[in-house]
Amino acid sequence: MGSERLGAAAMHSQGIDVLMNAIRLGEINAVREHLIASKHHLNAVDKFDYSPIGLVAILFRQASVATMISSSSFYHWELGATEAPSKVKDNKQPYATLLSSLLSKEVGCASLTGIYRPRPDGDTFLHPHNSGDGIVAHAFVLIARSKYFRDIMESSESLQVDRLPIPTDGNSTLAVLRCMYLIDSDDNTETGDTPDSIKLSVYFGLPSLSKSTNTEPRDGTNRHTSLIEAAQDDFLRLWDECLSVPLCLPRGEPFSVSKLAPRVQVLRPDVVLEVGSQFDDEVFFYAVHKAMIQSDFICTAVRFKQAFQSSQIGGPTIVSIDVSPQIMEAILKWFYTDMVDIPVEAALDLLQAADMLLIERLKSRACLLLTTQDSDDLLTGERGYSIFDVARAGWMTGTFLKLDPFCARFLANRLEKCLEEGTIRFQFEELIRESASRIQKREETDTIELIDDLRYYLSERFRMRFEALPAHMFSDESQNHVDNMEAQTEHTTEVLKTDNHEYERLTGALDELLVKLGFDV
């Protein structure tokens, strides 16, 4: 059994290497033939952590992109006549890839920071009827996605049911599991190899299985998205009902699996995250699954502790994380559901925690929360942090490409308040100094990035105000209204003069501030 798995893994590795070499050489026919023979390679990654779609985008192989589009409903690219691929519209695909990698041992799931790490094995053996080979699955996935498995495992007298007899045959069981794990739903339906999906969906309590065949193939992208959303709903219910409430113990009391609620024990968590500072009287323990953890920091800590606990018998690995319970719950919910549910007041803490735990994709989601704000509360710091803290966080977490334009636009729209004497002006001056210090071996000809962005967005601010004036003020149609023409022209001239004067005043005050701080204008 083990040699067969190793042989399959070797064949898969060779297959993906052949496909990647064909892409690099631009051999379109070879790419097309390979995808017809092995369609699942489209979502795989090679030993360098590149996917076929990513490689063709880097190499600008437009013909190869078109070939892959015709072979898959998982991606939708916008292509112009002479343009490279501009965007991937299915932002749920990373979550689907994570789930599919749990069942498929063909390829390890690449981490989001570029480190290749294999996915953990399952914990439950399924034995289909009239089939000699068992199928390895995950208890928490079975319970989350199927009412049939949930009823069996939760009603069992033993919380450690690791072998389940299945009344259906191997093909039917595998079809159900592939739907649960979001694997190749299109391949089976197109070839007609899938058993009666409606009967299976009713029997196993898996509505999404029947939905996967109710949509026309040309709507594959929508169908796949609906299947992912169904999985998200299932795991959201699992999170709300079982995993969202941590085990709370007094400081100093040892953790034990027996202290977990029965509905959590049946999920067989293999990792416990301990949250709580040394000044707290209580410690929170979150029972989770390594398979869903998308943090290289946590996974490395788990592997390190497991290396020294190999002689111990059973039990989950306990890892201490230095974040607040609110942030920990937001991160774990994102692990399981790909949903970010946190108030905007905690968005900066979420960004810093995601950076500490090496969760790149969550950092982007946190930046999105931060950049949707447009209130003066962010300038004064009434939300627990200020715009100046956001700018510094962007520099520290490497997300300045997303946060710097937002901060500069925000400050440019409120530059008058930043130049007034007081605390805000002091913080503004400190931010300018820090922006200037980010240039190593600074020379006289070097500009300050923050100031350059401020000047740009300040000009944009007044340009937009000019474009917001009524169009009839500048059109010849006003000549038909001689009585109003002079009044309109006078009003327009006055508005333009006022805006121009205000723009020159603000830029002049900004220049004076730079001279005061010791920078050349």
In a domain, 359, yes or no: no
314 and 420 in one domain? no
Whose tokens are 């699992």? That residue is 238
336 and 223 in one domain? no
177 and 148 in one domain? yes
Residue 357 has pLDDT above 90, yes or no: yes
Instruction: Give pLDDT tens digits for 481-507.
Output: 555 555 556 666 666 677 778 888 888
Determine the pLDDT at residue 34: 73
Determine the pLDDT at residue 439: 75
In a domain, 397, yes or no: yes
In a domain, 204, yes or no: yes
- CA 434/CA 436 separation, integer angstroms: 5
497 and 389 in one domain? yes
8 pLDDT band (50/70/90 cuts)? very low
Determine the pLDDT at residue 323: 93
State phi, psi for 288 to the nearest 5 degrees. Answer: -135, -170
508 and 400 in one domain? yes
Residue range 294-303: mean pLDDT, rounded: 89
Residues of the chain above pLDDT 70, percent = 65
327 and 286 in one domain? yes
211 pLDDT band (50/70/90 cuts)? low
Determine the pLDDT at residue 168: 72
Q: Which residue has the higher pLDDT, 215 or 332?
A: 332
Whose tokens are 């205000």? That residue is 502
Instruction: Give pLDDT tens digits for 233-253.
Output: 999 999 999 999 999 999 888
Contact 234, 211 (CB under 8 A): no
Give the domain CATH number at 335.
3.30.710
285 and 199 in one domain? no
- CA 333/CA 337 separation, integer angstroms: 6
Domain count, the chain: 4
Residue range 150-177: mean pLDDT, rounded: 71
pTM of the model: 0.73
483 and 420 in one domain? yes
Residue range 123-148: mean pLDDT, rounded: 81
Strand partners for 116: 110
Instruction: Give pLDDT tens digits for 19-72.
Output: 777 777 767 777 777 776 665 566 677 766 677 777 766 654 555 555 554 444
154 pLDDT band (50/70/90 cuts)? confident
Instruction: Give pLDDT tens digits for 366-416.
Output: 999 999 888 888 998 888 999 999 999 999 998 888 899 999 999 999 999
Of 62, 88, 114, the last residue of a domain is 88
Residue range 293-320: mean pLDDT, rounded: 81
Cα-Cα end-to-end distance for the chain: 73
3-state secondary structure of 315: coil
Determine the pLDDT at residue 114: 38
173 pLDDT band (50/70/90 cuts)? confident
In a domain, 108, yes or no: no
**Which of 13-27, 81-95, 133-147, 306-320 shows the lowest per-residue confidence on average (mean pLDDT)?**
81-95
3-state secondary structure of 137: strand
Structure tokens at 491: 């009003």
Q: Which residue has the higher pLDDT, 187 or 297?
A: 297
Determine the pLDDT at residue 132: 60
Domain that holds residue 254: 245-344
Residue 353: closest CA among 382, 387, 381, 330: 330
Residue 509 has pLDDT above 90, yes or no: no
147 and 233 in one domain? yes
Q: What is the DSSP letter of 374?
A: -
Residue 270 has pLDDT above 60, yes or no: yes
Determine the pLDDT at residue 516: 87
Determine the pLDDT at residue 503: 82
Residue range 265-287: mean pLDDT, rounded: 88
434 and 495 in one domain? yes
490 and 387 in one domain? yes
In a domain, 353, yes or no: no
Residues of the chain above pLDDT 90, percent = 24
**Which of 70-79, 113-122, 310-319, 322-331 shows the lowest per-residue confidence on average (mean pLDDT)?**
70-79
**Which of 48-62, 76-90, 315-329 shows the lowest per-residue confidence on average (mean pLDDT)?**
76-90
- CA 100/CA 231 separation, integer angstroms: 11
In a domain, 358, yes or no: no
Question: Within 10 A of 168 (CB to CB), how many other CB atoms are there?
Answer: 20
Residue range 83-107: mean pLDDT, rounded: 62
237 and 257 in one domain? no
- CA 301/CA 298 separation, integer angstroms: 5
Of 40, 65, 88, the last residue of a domain is 88
Instruction: Give pLDDT tens digits for 412-462.
Output: 999 999 998 889 999 999 999 998 888 766 565 567 888 888 988 888 887
Of 223, 241, 259, the last residue of a domain is 241
In a domain, 154, yes or no: yes
Mean pLDDT, all residues of the chain: 75
